[in-house]
Amino acid sequence: MSSDVKRHLRVPGIILANLYGRCISAEQDLEGLIFGTVSTRVIHSVNDAEANLNTVVANILIDAFTSTGSNHSFYDTSGAINVQTLEKLCHSRVSQGHQLLGWFKFRRHVAGRPSLLDATVQRELAQFCRRHDNTKTISSHPYFGLFTLSETTDAGLQFDYKFFCGSTLAQSAQTRIEIINLVNSSSTEYAELANAQSPFRMTSDASSPQDSFSTLSKQFLSTMPSTFGSAVPPPYVQETERFFVTTMKTMSSLVEEISAKEKEIKRLEAELAARKSGQQPTASKPPPTFDLLSGD
């Protein structure tokens, strides 16, 4: 029997935005600790090579962070961790049910890769996590988040972030992080449909298709909610579908009426051309004049 561990690192967008806001507002470089929760589940599978293969899926959610200072806030210049200082920094978060997941560093105008000092601190933090991690899901695998801010060629600002996992910070240790509330979901298309408000509304009392489009009413929009949120009630979806079906029917009627008008115009042009070719053009008479003073 063997086991494999698959880790999925996730963070809410609001947490990431708050962390960036804290970094930007800092006068100098900033570093701190990352906290969160870890939930695991075991998947049992059988294949031809092994009779019993267990896969441990660890969902790691970042839900808090603590800024600790600009540099060397919980370690010295050589990268050795001050255990007492680190335990003191973790105490308030751990007492609230959080778990230490790793640490982060924010730098300005530098390349987005860890330094040798970062690698040393990461290795020391892995040993600290090995001694204090009760779930053993991130033991010797803490995360390091590197945030950078640099200027672009067009005088703009570029934000970037990378996350690394493991006791070393080699480029191969870079890991993917998922922003959980910025991904597509089953209700994303419905939400976009609700936000795409249309000014057209077909009315049953219109005398012609032109009148249907000239009388733009807000009856349809008034029946729709201002925002659907994460779920769309089926009645609103059905109302939207009926609206677009009516729109297509009215557009078809307009196309037929315009085609009939074009045929009528061509017929009148042909009749006018025939009359001009069969008769001499008569001299135009001046319009009659009226003497307003005489009353005639």
DSSP string, 42-68: EEEE--SS-S-EEEEEEEEEEEEEEEE
| Cα 272–Cα 274–Cα 276 angle in degrees, nearest 5 | 70
pTM of the full structure: 0.56
Q: What pLDDT is recorded for position 133?
A: 63
Q: For 172-184, how does the pLDDT look when each residue is reduced to its tens digit (9 = 90+)?
A: 578 888 888 765 5
SS3 state at 104: strand
Strand order of the β-sheet with 2-11 is 174-175, 157-165, 143-151, 99-108, 30-45, 53-69, 2-11, 177-179
Q: How far apart are the first and last CA of the chain?
A: 118
Question: Torsions phi, psi of 71, nearest 5?
Answer: -150, 150
> 67-82 pLDDT, tens per residue?
998 889 999 999 899 9
Which single residue is written with the structure tokens 């049953």?
204
Q: What are phi and psi of 162, to 5 degrees?
A: -140, 145
Q: Which residue has the higher pLDDT, 32 or 47?
A: 32
Contacts of 108 by beta carbon, 8 Å cutoff, 6+ apart: 29, 148, 149, 150
What pLDDT shows up at residue 227? 45
State mean pLDDT over 191-214. Answer: 46
Of the candidates 199, 198, 185, the one whose C-alpha atom is nearest the C-alpha of residue 232 is: 185
Q: Quick one: pLDDT at residue 20?
A: 86
